[in-house]
Amino acid sequence: MNTGPQNDWFEKDFYKTLGVSKDASDAEIKKAYRKLARKYHPDANPGDSKAEDKFKELGQAHQVLSDKESREQYDQVRAMGGGARFTGSSGPAGGAGGGFDDVFSDLFGGGGRTRTRSPYGAGGGDVPPDLADLLNGFGGGGGGGFGGGYSPPVKGGDIKSSTTLSFTEAINGASVKLNMPGGKPLTVRTPIGVKDGQKIRLAGKGKTSPNGGEAGDVILTIKVKPHPVFTRDGDNLRMDLPVSFDEAALGAEVKVPTLGGMPVTMKIAPGTPSGRTMRVRGKGVKSKKGTGDLLVTAEIVVPQNLSKEAKEAVESFQSATDNEDPRDGLLDKARAS
């Protein structure tokens, strides 16, 4: 039985490779592997053969320790064989002592050799099928077991990008062209109603895998320019509507703009105070949940330059409302608190 270079597999301490203890949990093993795999990934170390070898060792260690059955077998073989038990002759089976037969006879009994007749069939004598695969790996047969220098496919790296949309483009959706590494542009349609700072993941559009795994993603961050009239509140739009004193006092019908559409007529009720918010339904942001509303807040405008006639009219109004005090009771409330 020619063990070949795969003899070294059982002399390696996979726990030490990943930097974890022998009683480490599955979560700890997974976390350690991911951290080290990122560090030694070929994309992060171009042209570094040592990093590439380390990356393969990490993959081998993770492959064994992340599977419950293979980890148990590995621990058992290590305990029985002690590492050095696998350094026997590379000549024919039954050669120098201290080789594979000793270890497997310890594990399964027998006279120092694995027998060929077995209730397990052709999977490898008295050795269960899973450990028969292990033997095949040592014999240079199939690529199963622990040998072969195999590293599991890893996902390609992600690419981070950003784009700036106008307020209207963000609400309605837009097509944007991204400059990708390598010079080939990527055209993307942004979702309807995307928000400022929102991140969009474009699956499979990132870097290719170094060993046949799935491609990485593009992480696109959206920046939205402010609008001179509208602001966003979830799926609703908000705006301040300038209202004259007489419109607020007497009531009126006024034109209200909508985002990207025709203006709508809205009634201002008599006696509307500054700061009151009125709702125009269905003129907000479209989303999967439905369409939001336009929330219009009245903002009473005080004239800055009054003509002689306007000033006289205001003075007449003042005289007519002399008995009304908008601050009535305010001082009493302040003292009470």
What is the full DSSP assignment across 128-139? -HHHHHHHHHHT
Q: Residue 132 in contact with residue 124, Cβ under 8 Å? A: yes
Please indicate, yes or no, whether residues 220 and 244 belong to a single structural domain of this protein. no
Cα–Cα distance for residue pair 151/57, rounded to 1 Å: 8
Q: Look up the CATH number of the domain holding residue 266.
A: 2.60.260.20
- Quick one: 33 exposed, middle or buried, by C-beta within 10 A (0-12, 13-18, 19+)? buried
Please indicate, yes or no, whether residues 192 and 134 belong to a single structural domain of this protein. no
pLDDT at 150: 60
Whether 337 is in a domain gets the answer: no
Largest CA distance in the chain: 122
pLDDT at 337: 62
Instruction: Write the CB contacts of 150 (distance below 8 Å, at least 6 apart in sequence).
Output: 59, 60, 63, 143
What is the total count of domains within the chain?
3
- H or E element at residue 176: strand 175-179
> pLDDT by residue (tens digit) across 160-186?
999 999 999 999 999 999 988 877 899
Domain boundary among 107, 138, 169: 138
Whether 153 is in a domain gets the answer: no
pLDDT at 223 exceeding the cut of 50: yes
Whether 145 is in a domain gets the answer: no
Please indicate, yes or no, whether residues 266 and 188 belong to a single structural domain of this protein. no
Question: What is the extent of the structural domain holding 201?
Answer: 159-224
Whether 183 is in a domain gets the answer: yes
Please indicate, yes or no, whether residues 186 and 97 belong to a single structural domain of this protein. no
Please indicate, yes or no, whether residues 249 and 296 belong to a single structural domain of this protein. yes
DSSP labels, 213-274? -----EEEEEEEPPPSS-EEETTEEEEEEEEEHHHHHH-EEEEEEETTEEEEEEEEPTTPPT
Domain boundary among 224, 257, 277: 224
Cα–Cα distance for residue pair 212/307, rounded to 1 Å: 80
Whether 147 is in a domain gets the answer: no
Whether 9 is in a domain gets the answer: yes
Q: What is the mean pLDDT of residues 313-335?
A: 87
| Residue type present at position 325 | D
User: Token match 């990122």: residue?
Assistant: 38
Please indicate, yes or no, whether residues 111 and 84 belong to a single structural domain of this protein. yes
> pLDDT by residue (tens digit) across 232-258?
999 999 999 999 999 999 999 999 999
Q: Residue 110 in contact with residue 101, Cβ under 8 Å? A: no
Domain boundary among 224, 244, 278: 224
pLDDT at 4 exceeding the cut of 80: no
* CA 111 remoteness from chain centre: 56
> pLDDT by residue (tens digit) across 264-276?
999 999 999 999 9
Whether 17 is in a domain gets the answer: yes
